[in-house]
Structure 1
């Protein structure tokens, strides 16, 4: 282990300590245990499901009564608090922003609060990235229990080993992290805008040029529709495959799903191939994205396979443009799952192949630009994570492997 027993410091000057004991960490706590009923005039409360892709989604927040909030002021949010998911997508994070000042969090969310020094020296940024590394994710998953609704005890988050480099190296890596975060945010906007532009072109093709050609072809006539399944554990056998939860589709910032927070186990060859469209509902909303990785769709979702790119690109934008009609026709206002039977009968605008091919020639480069932006995000993440390993530990692992 190339580590001195007395100080916890490696030969290269890195230190390893439990998360809650790191210099710069003020406290680690979880949120409201008994929130009570939703109070429309109460204090916003962030739940695990509200933390999506590194940010707080405030479109459908729960609210707690003022009296409940007063009893839980220790978890009233401050800007720069790090929020960590404890239930479901274990280890996902978001940073509290100024507009979240005074909000609270649910029991399913942990708050890591930092001292002024911890914010100034980059400890907060380092920990946020550390929680996304494979070693941190693997340990947190191992400490959680359950298959579909894994829960991480707060004590295990507090005891998570975190390695910190010497200050001069940390300053450099934290600077790289912040640059990567800004570029990642820009790339995500580029990906979203590229698909919005494709949507705009589709609207012209479908609702102007092709308005008189509307034929009402049922979904089942142009593609294969299958239902999603629940996530299972490794004890069920098979191979590990990315598992897409409905919320990941519903809250995706782009039209392409290129990663998932969870995996499941399934027989070889049963995953949906890249290019499969995933349709997920919630009350009053239906969302469609394209999976660009092999994936198993979660329960309550539908997976759609087409024969070729032309059909896939047209169908993706047709479903996106008809999200409201899909909601009313396939699930009803209060349903949380889609009826495959009703969905399969939904009438599509399916013009002649020439018009669909013409649209695909315009839309495909926009999709390619969106995917290139997402691919660069992966490369940026790998670059940063590669800088977060103690070189003396890495050398020790290499020597052990050589033996």
Structure 2
């Protein structure tokens, strides 16, 4: 596979690939230029399960669109999120409506389909070898996770012969399809749970209780990165990137781990499974329920409910208040919601029976959503295993098709 590796900037120089982000220079669409109709303005939040969510995306009017000269999407583009949330990938179908990339997203466009098949490019950008390149670059600044356009052009792409590309994309598309179905199952389950919560609070007012008065609210920290013995142990250590990359709020693993010594020398505790993790800086209001004990860095607010029933109530109360939390955040470099401000926020709290009935109703929905997310994770791992084996010739396409058929 090594002989097929090509640097992105070289592919651009040869007119094979075009990589362009939505950084529109000094111009940013003004609030008055957004509306319900117009050209979709694609952010990381508008990417899910490989799809671009054109209908729910913000729209810019013709005046704003007329000022934009780069980051203009087209059919068969592969869209990559590169700022805040790094590593989401989506494919623009042949019949896609007009769209432009926001400053959070980049399009990768094959200019010569006889050299790089767009569906293969979509598959490769989801592969572990490519994601590893992103991870190596996304935390090079002290700000939110970010891989600049310059850095993206330094990445490498494997470009095997076209017949291999198309065989690979055909095999992997079946896995991607099942992952997309699972992600829709998770999304629908969460939407049902949110709707149940909206119904439960429809006649409730805010009372004297606050997040801080009904639950334990804590945070996290980072062990010294200069001390090697703190890192690479068996303890999950969560960063906001681990959470913002999730398609559903269930965390099964983290990109980095720490040792017992690292845990003892940072501000985080080892929080139990099913704690409520919420990102509190840069991206505010991304949630995860860890499926295993985990620590967190300083980019989180962690809520530890006193009972299982209250866990689900507080999670949905938090999910419904993200806009308000953002309004309470401050910071010159990036917005951050302080624990003090969060703890002081009043909440809507029903009596114990209503809270228990709500938990009984939504707990199975979260269970089904987590199950679908876990299955998607397994399928994604299978995809990442098959891709290099197919590209190296160690696995025949026919055998890979049988493996995929058994998996889905």
TM-score clears 0.5 = yes
Give deviations 1:100-122, integer Å, cap 9, x for gaps.
5363554x64432114635xx97
**How do 1:57-136 and structure 2 match up within 5 A?**
59-60=57-58, 65=64, 68-69=67-68, 72=69, 75-96=71-92, 98-101=95-98, 103=100, 106=103, 109-115=105-111, 117-118=113-114, 123-136=117-130
Secondary structure of 2:129's aligned partner: helix
Cα distance, 1:371 vs structure 2: 0.6
Contact 1:86 1:110 in 2 (8 A): yes
Structure 1 residues 100 and 292, CA, compared in 2 at 3 Å: closer, same or farther?
farther
Does residue 190 of the first structure (1) align with residue 224 of the second (2)?
Answer: no
Q: Secondary structure at the match of 1:370?
A: helix
Q: Deviations over 1:230-251 (max 9, x none)?
A: x7984466336231259939xx
Name structure 1 gaps, 5 residues minimum: 9-14, 396-403
Deviation per CA, 1:339-362, whole angstroms, max 9, x where unpaired? 53343342441523x554444333
Aligned length: 364
Asked if structure 2 preserves the Cα contact closer than 8 Å seen for 1:38 and 1:62, the reply is yes
SS of equivalent to 2:310: helix
* Aligned-partner SS, 1:112: strand
Provide the secondary structure at the position in 2 that maps to 1:77.
coil
**Corresponding position of 1:388:** 387
Following superposition, the deviation at residue 152 of structure 1 comes to 3.8
1:223 aligns with 2:198: no
Cα 1:198–1:110 shift into 2, 3 Å = closer
Give the aligned partner of residue 21 of structure 1: 11
State the alpha-carbon separation in 1 of the partners of residues 137 and 196 from structure 2: 48
Larger radius of gyration between Structure 1 and Structure 2:
1
Corresponding position: 1:268 with 2:260: no
Shift of residue 164, structure 1, vs aligned partner: 4.7
Determine the C-alpha separation between the residues in 2 that align with 1:35 and 1:102. 20
Show CA shifts across 1:272-328 (max 9, x none): 443121345799x967553435352653x52201244233123223444xx35x755
C-alpha distance in 1, partners of 2:149/2:97?
A: 22
Hey, what does 1:173 align to over in structure 2? Answer: 168
| Deviation sequence 1:175-195 (CA, Å, 0-9, x none) | 232222222222112112223
- The answer to whether the aligner puts 1:366 opposite 2:360 as a matched pair is no
Check 1:187–1:340 CA distance in 2 against 1; reply closer, same or farther (3 A cut): same
Shift of 1:258: 5.1
C-alpha contact (below 8 Å) 2:168/2:390 kept by paired residues: no
**2:155 aligned with 1:160:** yes
Distance 1:350 1:61 in 2: 38
Q: In structure 2, what is the equivalent of residue 349 of structure 1?
A: 349
Aligned match of 1:401: none
Secondary structure, counterpart of 1:84 in structure 2: strand
Residue pair 1:88, 1:151 contacting (<8 A) in 2 also: yes
When residues 154 and 375 of structure 1 are mapped into structure 2, their CA distance, relative to the original with a 3 A threshold, is same
- Long gaps (5+) in structure 2: 395-408
CA distance in 1, matches of 2:83, 2:199: 43
> RMSD across aligned C-alpha pairs, in angstroms?
4.5
Deviation per CA, 1:144-180, whole angstroms, max 9, x where unpaired?
6324345545455345333355555544431232222
Structure-1-length-normalised TM-score: 0.69
SS at match of 1:113: strand
Counterpart-to-counterpart distance in 1, 2:323 and 2:391: 56
Which residue matches 1:242? Answer: 238
